[in-house]
Structure 1
């Protein structure tokens, strides 16, 4: 019998993150992202849901309940579920730095509170019944490296306050590690931060294949590198096991992706692990095999879906049906090898 879990989701934020009006890659509407996702099909299999970014132009974080219900109706109209949500925690949205002053950190927590309110509306509507609320430190690495211990302590305190808000709403937060985020730019620093927060029932880790590949290489933290250029397959397996054994117990949300070993940034987004096409010949990852490490015992951690992250794909790539079919084909392969009933 084919596996029916994890459910297969596509991310909506690649239509917004790194996009800028007046460029070759302007923001892409929610309607268009949903249409492209719904059109993908591989051997009768389609995407089953979307993960959702809670900011304009897709969603006003202060939208009324009726406006949010209309969005839920729209998503459900494609026979999709909504899974994990991305809280608008960055400067320039609702939030601000988790490592900033008291006012900035208060804004960060407020952004999580607004995300929890929206989650409640979606949950009560019925379009959402699983998934987390994603956060990061909303801070670059430059300030953090001046005093790593103090920086991590501040971020942990902010995350604790945000996690208390999430717990009050019956939600869990997933902290996404990327090389561009303070205190989250290496696998060791993420582990230190998660342990400093020490709220595993409410705050866990969101693993992304593209970003965590650069953790292995120590891109922004050479002292924590587990691999060097020219590594063998045996070296890779050993390093990957070391990293995933440390972070998997905390992992409650998972992004399937590909990386070619380089970094990339567009618009206002700092350079981070490049998200490549699922069938990119330069991809460094065996996507299915690497997913196995993260999805081992996934049901025990409450994971019910996985999501493709094509963040900062050029718009002309996203316009091609072949892009989404290749992604969906790889997602199906991950479920066949790593899934469950």
Structure 2
């Protein structure tokens, strides 16, 4: 039998930006992120592509169509495709002003245009536009019912814009974003949007914190005194979580977490991404990815045509080592070997 060649294996570019900057370490240049990704190799297997943060200074969201085509050529020149795109919506919080909400939707429109041009260039066979509420859990908690409706209304407008580009939007479940800071509030928000082209972006680091009830203790799944050596209880919690969110899941990040929160620079505390080889990681990454990539009966869903490693807020010294990216690629290969498939 041929080896699995799906899902395709992608690296993320935004770890060169997220948690970096003026009050932290310097941003890692976009070209460096591409080179490290393209140079990674494990037993002859290489990354298939990158998921792209449309974030300055890596990418100018106001790029002209010709600039976007040149960016496509640059990425393709490294032998890489593009998958999911991160819309830079944080200048337009959903619970801000009317102008803020218009900015949010406009950022989604601009991101969709990137996606369209990448598809036309032949380098984007799969992927979504990633969004969040760009607002804090504290802001949401001031009036949960009303604020959920407001967030859903903005997402609905963004979905309608995305539909014009034949794009799907994926809301990432991070505990730092209001209305999506727990697994239950995430589902409530998605249901309220009521559009066919919205779904959930699962990141294994962030979703582990959902089971622990960070920022919303009443939605905790694991017991308060949980012992991380109790794999049976952890497995049951992950099954509860994924059974609820899997039907919504349209994009997937492979990641590790040590059970704590972390933030650097201007990035609020969220799931602590750990290296693929971190001995303190609480997940059996290759096995636990199956909760997302297989249905409740253990059958492959084949919904995700590519998967992406998301590792933010690592020290620059670590990210400049080629072995870091080889180890990450090796973990993605393990996930594909366990939960992938072959297509001719």
Q: Same fold (TM over 0.5)?
A: yes
Find the aligned partners of 2:222 and 2:337 in 1 and give their Cα distance: 29
Aligned residue for 1:208?
203
CA contact (8 A) 1:99 1:158 kept: no
Q: 2:338, 2:149 → 1: CA distance?
A: 39
Distance in 1 between the 2:111 and 2:330 partners?
31
Equivalent in the alignment of 1:308? 309
**Count of residues paired in the alignment:** 335
- From 51, 72, 93, the equivalent of 1:97 is 93
In 2: Cα distance, 1:207 partner to 1:235 partner: 21
**Secondary structure of the corresponding residue to residue 156 of structure 2:** helix
Q: Distance in 1 between matches of 2:55 and 2:335?
A: 30
Aligned counterparts of 2:240 and 2:132: Cα–Cα separation in 1:
23
5 Å-filtered alignment, 1:164-179, equals: 164-179=160-175
Would you say 1:78 and 2:78 are equivalent positions?
Answer: yes
Query: Which runs of no fewer than 5 residues in structure 2 stay unpaired?
Result: none
Q: What is the CA–CA distance in structure 1 between the aligned matches of 2:291 and 2:303, rounded to whole Å?
A: 16
> Relative to structure 2, which stretch is displaced further, 58-67 or 75-84?
58-67
Determine the C-alpha separation between the residues in 2 that align with 1:246 and 1:286. 20
SS at match of 2:9: strand
Partner of 2:64: 64
**Maintained 8 Å contact 2:23/2:265:** no
* Between 289-298 and 315-324, the greater mean CA deviation after superposition: 289-298
Mapping of residues 285-300 of structure 1, within 5 Å: 285-296=283-294
1:254 and 1:202 map into 2 onto residues whose CA distance is 16
State TM-score, norm by structure 1. 0.96
Q: What residue number does 1:325 align with?
A: 326
Shift of residue 301, structure 1, vs aligned partner: 6.9
> What is the deviation of 1:267?
1.1
Partner of 1:10: 11
Q: For the structure 1 residues 299 and 67, does the alpha-carbon distance in structure 2 shift closer, same or farther, using more than 3 Å as the test?
A: farther
Q: CA deviation at 1:99?
A: 2.0
Aligned with 2:273: secondary structure?
A: coil
* Contact kept? 1:8, 1:49, Cα under 8 Å: yes
CA distance in 2, matches of 1:82, 1:41: 18
1:300 Cα shift? 5.5
| SS of aligned partner of 1:275 | strand
Aligned to 2:124: 128
**Distance in 2 of aligned mates of 1:272 and 1:262:** 8
TM-score, length-scaled by structure 2: 0.95
Q: 1:226-275 CA distances to partner (integer Å, 9 max, x unpaired)?
A: 00222521111111111100000000000000000111111111000000
Structure 1 gap segments, 5+ residues each = none
SS of 2:258's equivalent in the other structure is: coil
Structure 1 range deviating more: 61-70 or 206-215: 61-70
* C-alpha distance in 2 between matches for 1:35 and 1:195: 40
Give yes or no for contact 1:251–1:301 (8 Å, CA) kept in 2. Answer: no
Distance 2:222 2:303 in 1: 31
Per the TM alignment, residue 333 of structure 1 is displaced from its structure 2 partner at its CA by 0.2
DSSP-derived class of the 1:71 partner: helix
Cα distance in 1 between the residues matched to 2:303 and 2:290: 16
Counterpart residue number, 1:230: 227
Give the distance between the partners of 2:260 and 2:158, measured in 1 at CA: 32
Give runs of ≥4 in structure 1 deviating > 3 Å. 297-302
Offset at residue 127 of structure 1 (A): 1.3
Q: CA deviation at 1:100?
A: 2.0
1:117-196 equivalences in 2 (<5 Å): 117-196=113-192
Matches within 5 A, 1:9-28: 9-21=10-22, 23=24, 25-28=25-28
